[in-house]
Amino acid sequence: MTTFSRRGLHGHVVDVLGRRIMRGELVSGDIIDPDALLTEFQVSRTVVREAIKVLTTKGLVDARPRLGTYVTPRERWQLLDSDVMTWRSEGVPDPLLVLELSEVRQVLEPAAARLAAVRRSDEQCAEIEAAMVDLAATFENTEVESHVKADLAFHRAILAASGNELLARFEVVLEPALHARDELAFAHETTTQFLDEHRAVVTAIVARDAEAAGTAMKILMDQSNRDSETIVSKDAAGAELVSNRKPAL
């Protein structure tokens, strides 16, 4: 996805600094010297000022008299901002993001599936079925990007069919994080089980069976959460992170 931070000269500065903060190259309390940015990026003071303003709105930096511009504590970051989500999910995805995404999906997506079963139009139902066909087709090869795209399309179609604008718009936040999770999980998923669980959701929505749709999506999300925990637990730090987040939903 193309985010605001990717546009223009000041957008480039925002993008680079945002990535550095997300990767821990700049940590809470670190001072950001505007003059150093002028030299590094070869841009005007106006560009640097605008970039700092954008990062401030995202909660990543702030300024104090006699201290200057500094990186803020994590609790002030706008974690639902689409740029922040993208920075966290690119490269080696943030394991905490993967786990938290799984928890959010366990809460939201079964409810969205229940609503979609009741509220979906014939056109939306056709879109969900088409997305299922495309998703199944990705298992004919091992190309991760096509799988990620199809999986995102499937879940976006259900969110849209829920008839709830807030749920539908939430896909803007979920997209980069889902992308990260799917890239990690693709090699670990069992094709038959993965597809059968998705098809069960589609069947229930087509039949307008809200209870079955919610149950099927919960099964799918619970499996997704287990997959995420398995992947994140590959190293000691990840295993500790998973253990500290018990009990699961």
Type of residue numbered 69: T
Share of residues in the chain with pLDDT > 70 (%): 90
Domain boundary among 76, 108, 131: 76
pLDDT at 184: 65
- Cα angle value 186/97/71 (rounded, 5°): 140
Most confident of 137-146, 160-169, 231-240: 160-169
Q: What is the CATH number of the domain that holds 137?
A: 1.20.120.530
Least confident of 62-76, 128-142, 182-196, 215-229: 182-196
Q: Is the domain of 179 the same as that of 220?
A: yes
Peptide linkage before 34 cis (omega within 30 of 0)? no
Euclidean distance between CA atoms 144 and 202, whole angstroms:
23
pLDDT tens digits for range 71-87: 999 999 998 888 998 88
Is 185 within the bounds of a domain? yes
Q: Is the domain of 58 the same as that of 145?
A: no
Q: Is the domain of 108 the same as that of 196?
A: yes
Euclidean distance between CA atoms 194 and 188, whole angstroms:
10
Is 81 within the bounds of a domain? no
Check whether 242 has a pLDDT greater than 70: yes
For 69, phi and psi rounded to 5 degrees? -85, 135
Average pLDDT over residues 196-219: 97
Check whether 222 has a pLDDT greater than 50: yes
Round the average pLDDT of the chain to a whole number and report it: 87
Query: How many domains does the structure of the chain reveal?
Result: 2
pLDDT at 7: 66
pLDDT tens digits for range 105-152: 999 999 999 999 999 999 999 999 999 999 998 877 667 778 888 888
Domain boundary among 25, 51, 76: 76
Is 82 within the bounds of a domain? no
Q: Is the domain of 52 the same as that of 97?
A: no
pLDDT at 77: 95
Is 52 within the bounds of a domain? yes
pLDDT tens digits for range 37-80: 999 999 999 999 999 999 999 999 999 998 999 999 999 999 88
Is 195 within the bounds of a domain? yes
Check whether 189 has a pLDDT greater than 60: no
Share of residues in the chain with pLDDT > 90 (%): 57
Q: Is the domain of 205 the same as that of 179?
A: yes
pLDDT at 109: 95
Is 28 within the bounds of a domain? yes
- Give residue 68's domain range: 4-76
Location of structure tokens 């928890």:
103
Euclidean distance between CA atoms 31 and 71, whole angstroms:
7
* Token duo for residue 41: 């990026």
Q: What is the dihedral of CA 164, 145, 82, 11, to 10 degrees?
A: -140
| Helix (H) / strand (E) containing 68 | strand 68-71
